[in-house]
Amino acid sequence: MKIYTKVGDEGKTAFFGCGMVAKDDPRIEALGALDEINSVIGVTLCFVENENLRDMLQKIQNDLFQVGSDLSGSSIEETSVPRMKDGHVAEIESHIDELEEKLGMPQKFILPGGTVASSFLHMCRTITRRAERELVKTKSVIDLNPAMLRYINRLSDLLFVLARDANKELDVKEQQPIYKYFEK
């Protein structure tokens, strides 16, 4: 078998349980955004030395495949594919709570950046937010597992606090935006 099938040459692709769909179908857009998050997390791992963070990011990569599986199998029997569960969301919330206790809540907006790891984690966060928007668009086409949306929403929050923690770990000060020409 070859990597290319030529099936997509006309702008369509197979979607599990639904047959052929256009490549700009909201489900395909959402799967693409999930793939993009996973890829950028893979790049981020090249710049992360902290073993706990590496382990967490690798687990997230696996979870993202489960989100994709859940999305792809939305129209088929509940037990036929791995589904996102409330436990996935609770695990992320636990990590967020632990990090927020350590970091405190920011009092102002924070500019993305600082360390290389923090910068990449912020990029992961913004792509996750886009994936969330794409998943919401799919609700017009199929019913979505609510745990999937909650997971992606919490994931962007987790990536934000992980980015903050990556800066704190190396004593890089958080930068706030400067608003030019703002009258007080």
Residues 6+ apart with CB under 8 A from 136: 149
Q: What does the block give as tokens for 44?
A: 């981020």
- 85: pLDDT confidence band, cut at 50, 70 and 90? very high
Nearest partner of 157 among 176, 137, 133, 129, judged by Cα: 129
18 or 124, which is more confident: 124
Mean pLDDT check: name the lowest of 22-36, 58-72, 153-167. Answer: 22-36
- Could you tell me the domains of the chain? 7-169 (1.20.1200.10)
Query: Tell me: the pLDDT tens digits for 102-123?
Result: 998 888 899 899 999 999 999 9
Predicted confidence (pLDDT) at residue 53 exceeds the cutoff of 90: yes
| Structure confidence by residue, pLDDT tens digits, 132-184 | 999 999 988 888 899 999 999 999 999 999 999 999 999 999 888 888 876 76
Q: Are 114 and 174 in contact (CB under 8 A)?
A: yes
Which of 96, 17, 102, 15 shows the shortest CA–CA distance to 60? Answer: 96
Average pLDDT over residues 2-19: 70
Give the pTM. Answer: 0.88
* Band (11; pLDDT cuts 50, 70, 90): confident
Rounded CA gap, 22 and 10, in Å? Answer: 9
Other Cβ atoms less than 10 A from the Cβ of 139: the count is 11
